[in-house]
Amino acid sequence: MSIGIDEEIEQPAYSSTVRSKTLEKYPKKTHATVLVTAAGGIIGQGIMKSLRLASNASVSPISYQIISTDSSPLAAGLYRSDIGIVVPKASDPEYIDSIIEHLKSYNVDALFVGSDEELMTIATAKKRIERESQTKVLVAELGVIKIARDKWETYKFLKSNDLSCADSCLPENRDGFIEEFGFPIVVKPREGFGSVNFFVAKSTDEMEYALTKIQDYGWKPMLQEYLPGRDEEFTSGVTIDKSGTYAMSSIAMRKYLKGGQTYKAFIDDHPIARLSAENVAEKLGVTGAVNIQAMYVSNDEMTSPLHTAAAFEPNNLNESLHNGKMKIFEINPRFSATCPLRSFAGINEPDIVFRNAVFDEKIEKLTKCERLVCMRYWNEVYVNLATYEKLKYVGSLKQGLENSNSPHYF
């Protein structure tokens, strides 16, 4: 393992609970090497951003060396990591062998998965990867991933555990479902992610069109009730300790979507969303990071003020709460694309999970964060053509930060 200690760090006066009390055990920064996959995607880049924040802040005892991988030399994250490596696609039979080779070559302490496409592949090979590389694979249990990746299985899990969720059905039961809920209705793939092949059908013809499009794509469709809440969609991040006994952190954000991704968010203490997400994570039996998507739906289907924590009791999660309830519609058994937003607000999920899983650090539960509004925008990474060609033909690039430029000109 590559962990080493050096450089003194100052112990800051940091707001409330965003730092673990166990930090006093680490008077110096501890160096660790991690590998983050899918450096060209928003999830992998979000993990990298969070680890950079941890490295540059004295509230974490760890300084991370980041190795990133992607199947394309045009992945921006390859040029913003300490070492960028081009690897085969997750569908390639050589993918796992390639990952293991790089984990061993660079003596990597932990592997972070940065895309949905790689999640099942790495989870299936987790025992082999850990055995051959001595690297900790920070991925959810295979059974949990199977439940969460199939949205129909997700629905069955939520219903069987009496967790409030969006009602759903399979296409063969659509007539009765439409009779009960009417239009509009959501038609989406069971195995999809993001907004790919996601439809809101307003008529029978639109519903049949959506079902056909999803099937033509090679996926299996399902129907879901349309949740009418306006500006009340929440994304909640929860981390569960490696023994699966308690939530190390939870934080919810009210979000606005564009192209299936959060592009504006209000980061605050939203207790109904946060505590309902904790309940789901604990019943799911997940360890590490999980992301819960839910809508707050008022009884009169109008936007209502959310309750304060003092007025909310966790044992009433499934009861109608004066004005409404949370309805869960998706579970992502991984770090979220919004994890850097949470990290900047004071709850750094990749850092929390690494410290618990690799260092066996007991993290005091973190729920309080800085109240922020986030507005995302496009930015650029520039590299010399020669740098790109070196990565393309050699397959790896060291000191990517020194060989690329991401200017702060906005």
CA gyration radius, the chain: 22
Rounded CA gap, 18 and 369, in Å? 7
* Interval 270-328: pLDDT, tens: 898 999 999 999 999 999 999 999 998 876 653 334 433 333 334 444 443 446 789 99
Return the structure tokens found at 341: 């937003």
Measuring CA to CA, which residue among 169, 170, 198, 140 is closest to residue 331? Answer: 140
Alpha-carbon gap, residue 181 to 84, rounded angstroms: 50
CA–CA dist 18, 59 (Å, integer):
8
What spatial distance separates the first Cα and last Cα of the chain, rounded to whole Å? 40
Beta bridge partners of 138: 112
185-189 vs 233-240, strand pairing mode: unpaired
Residue 353: per-residue pLDDT:
98
Q: How far apart are CA 397 and CA 390, in angstroms?
A: 7
Among 245, 145, 142, 256, CA closest to 193: 145
Residue 172 identity: E
Crossing angle of helices 151-160 and 142-149, in 10° steps, is 100
- CA separation, residue 169 to residues 301, 349, 385 (Å): 21, 34, 51
CB atoms under 10 Å from CB of 209, counted, come to 14
pTM higher than 0.75, yes or no? yes
Quote the CA–CA distance of 252 and 288 in Å, as a whole number. Answer: 17
Position 52 scores a pLDDT of 96
Nearest to 91 by CA among 124, 129, 125, 118: 118
pLDDT at 231: 63
* Both structure tokens of 152: 């129909």
Q: Which two three-digit tokens encode residue 32?
A: 């660790």
Give the β-pairing of 28-36 and 110-112.
parallel
Q: Which residues of the chain have pLDDT under 70?
A: 1-27, 193-194, 229-231, 299-323
Token reading at 381: 């990474």
In 3D space, the residue among 196, 194, 345, 342 whose CA is nearest the CA of residue 261 turns out to be 194
| Neighbour-count burial for 310-343, b at 16+ CB within 10 Å, e otherwise | eebeeeebeeebebbbbbbbbbbbbbbbbbbbbb
- 184 preceded by a cis bond (ω within 30 of 0): yes
Set out the domains of the chain in order of their start, with CATH numbers: 4-139+380-405 (3.40.50.20), 167-225 (3.30.1490.20)
